[in-house]
Amino acid sequence: MQGSFFRRGSCIVKSILFPLLFLSANHAGAQDLRFTQVHASETWLNPAFAGSYRDARLILNFRDQWPNMPQTYISYRAGFEDYIEKMRSGFGVSVFQDNQGDQTLKTTMVGLQYMYQAKFSDVLALNFGLELNYVQTRINWSNLQFYDQINMLYGFNDVFGNPNPTGEIVPGSLSDTHVDVGAGALLVGNSFYAGFSAHHLTTPTVSFYGNSASKVPVALSGQVGYRITGKANKNPLIFNPLAVYTNHGGFQQIETGAYLKKNILLTGIFFRHNTENLSDISLCAGISKGLFSFAYSYDISTGELAGITGGAHEVSMIFKFEEKASKTLKKNQKNMLDCPRVL
């Protein structure tokens, strides 16, 4: 899982913010991207979720973070997962792209996920997951502006509108690639799940200047959820409280909240906390009909960033492919315990 190196910070003038972050000697304090909609990004959190819903699924994610800022963060993700009964295994593939600072820093990732389920009983199983990612990070040097380019009369450009020169050294390569590895486990019951995952296990070096100290630290995450289903035989009310904890480079964050689903309608509210205060309140609404689900969420920034960033918009779509199983396969399917889900 690879996300933004600079996804959190204070509100600073556009032309100064990004170069300062880019020229930081060490990216180790940075954080991965976190999607608000947990139901549509489980394999992003933990590869042990891959294929854990039996039917094949195609999931599309879009996130626009801090749209009121001069340089926003826009992320896209597409993932496909399925479960192969004969192998007792789930497989996933995903493509992710993160654009930071109006295309100034672009991260592209292609990943593979694998899950194996060990079933203890009809009501308890343990999933083991692995992920392998190929990551490319590119920088558009021409988009950067530095302190030494500032002219007190004309700003960053001269009187003719041409950029002022800078003493900053252009990297020998404007692209960096590396392989990233992660792993996870997920305890699954009829109505609950509890998981743990670790990403960037190889602590890859990410630097345009060949700085071996610029390593991505291991990111740890814990996930728990519980599904409560109403007593109605048809279209019961589903209540799904959950929590996600992350620790990346010493930055800790916990997201708590719940989904509520009735008939085709889905709603949710989530609270994101860091170690000091509440950072975001997120509201979610969507629909789920047959093999298609759609959800939209909006993050409301709190604290010092309240009313400044524009929060974050997130959209997800899930397409399910229901398999027509034979009688033999239907009998064998009892060997897999589905992860409880809201959709």
Q: What are phi and psi of 268, to 5 degrees?
A: -165, 155
Q: What is the pLDDT of residues 23-71, one digit of tens each?
A: 443 343 457 888 999 999 999 999 999 999 878 999 999 999 988 877 6
Q: Picking from 80-84, 248-252, 306-310, 311-315, which range would have the lowest pLDDT averaged per residue? A: 306-310
Closest CA to 147 of 166, 163, 171: 166
Q: What is the pLDDT of residues 241-263, one digit of tens each?
A: 999 999 998 889 999 999 999 99
Q: Are 47 and 41 in contact (CB under 8 A)?
A: no
Query: pLDDT grade, residue 336 (50/70/90)?
Result: confident
pLDDT of res. 325:
53
pLDDT of res. 131:
98
Residue type for 78, please?
A
Q: What is the pLDDT of residues 76-117, one digit of tens each?
A: 999 999 999 888 899 999 999 999 877 788 999 999 999 999
Beta bridge partners of 37: none
Could you please state the CATH topology (level 3) that the domain comprising 14-136+180-335 is classified under.
Porin (2.40.160)
Average pLDDT over residues 288-306: 90
Q: Are 340 and 225 in contact (CB under 8 A)?
A: yes
Q: How far is CA 214 from CA 9, 131, 138, 174, in A?
A: 19, 22, 16, 16
The DSSP call for residue 16 is H
Using a pLDDT cut of 70, give the percent of the chain over it.
Answer: 87
Query: pLDDT grade, residue 313 (50/70/90)?
Result: very high
Q: Are 244 and 258 in contact (CB under 8 A)?
A: no
pLDDT of res. 149:
81
Selected residue with higher pLDDT from 17 and 334 = 334
pLDDT of res. 18:
47
Q: Does the pTM exceed 0.95?
A: no
Please tell me which of 27-41, 180-194, 228-242, 295-309 the model is most confident about, judged by mean pLDDT: 180-194
Question: What's the CA gap between 150 and 195, in Å, rounded?
Answer: 50
- pLDDT at residue 182 greater than cutoff 70: yes
pLDDT of res. 185:
98
Selected residue with higher pLDDT from 268 and 53 = 268
Question: What is the residue extent of each domain of the chain?
Answer: 14-136+180-335
Selected residue with higher pLDDT from 296 and 304 = 296
pLDDT of res. 118:
94
pLDDT of res. 341:
82
pLDDT of res. 324:
55
Average pLDDT over residues 120-148: 90
What is the average pLDDT score of the chain? 84
